[in-house]
């Protein structure tokens, strides 16, 4: 069973930062996911994913947010969230919190072993430790 934690006001602010970023920069077939990362110093870094026609060069919003934070000198990460904008033909027009893909789970874990990830579990938006999403991670020591 996955251990979950309730959201606090700071977590809701992080979801809003990711939502605002993708609302502002959404572009069909270019950017449909926004992410926001809260650093250990309290700074919020937000980014969008970059879509490519050749899928393997697409870069996830979480990876861009992590890279942006590191490039700004941040080293400790507290919490991360990704939010998906609906496509123009989606009937449901709501923004939705989404779980990080496998590669992003690896990246988050590599840079912040104790990072919280906000996602939906059984219809409820909660946060979990990245280790819960990647319990048997390959490491140098494993």
Say which residues have a Cβ less than 8 Å from residue 53's Cβ, sequence separation at least 6. none
Nearest Cα residue to 28 out of 82, 90, 98: 90
Catalytic residue among 9, 28, 51, 62: 62
Nearest Cα residue to 15 out of 84, 68, 74: 84
Q: Does 16 qualify as catalytic in the annotation? A: no
40: left (phi over 0), alpha (psi -120 to 50) or beta: alpha
Locus of tokens 């919190």: 97
Q: Is 51 helix (H, G, I), strand (E, B) or coil?
A: coil
Say which residues have a Cβ less than 8 Å from residue 55's Cβ, sequence separation at least 6. none
Which residues are catalytic, by number?
62
């Amino acid at each position: 069973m996955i251990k979950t934690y309730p959201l606090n006001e700071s977590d809701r602010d992080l979801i809003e930062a990711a939502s605002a970023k993708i609302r502002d920069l959404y572009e069909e077939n270019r950017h449909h996911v926004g992410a926001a990362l809260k650093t250990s110093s309290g700074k919020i870094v937000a980014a969008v994913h970059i879509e490519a026609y050749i899928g393997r060069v697409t870069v996830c919003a979480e990876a861009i947010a992590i890279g942006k934070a590191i490039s700004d000198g941040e080293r400790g990460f507290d919490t991360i969230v990704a939010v998906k904008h609906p496509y123009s033909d989606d009937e449901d027009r709501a923004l939705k919190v989404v779980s990080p893909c496998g590669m992003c789970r690896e990246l988050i874990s590599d840079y912040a072993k104790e990072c919280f990830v906000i996602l939906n579990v059984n219809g409820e938006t909660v946060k979990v430790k990245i280790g819960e999403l990647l319990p048997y991670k390959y490491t140098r020591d494993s």
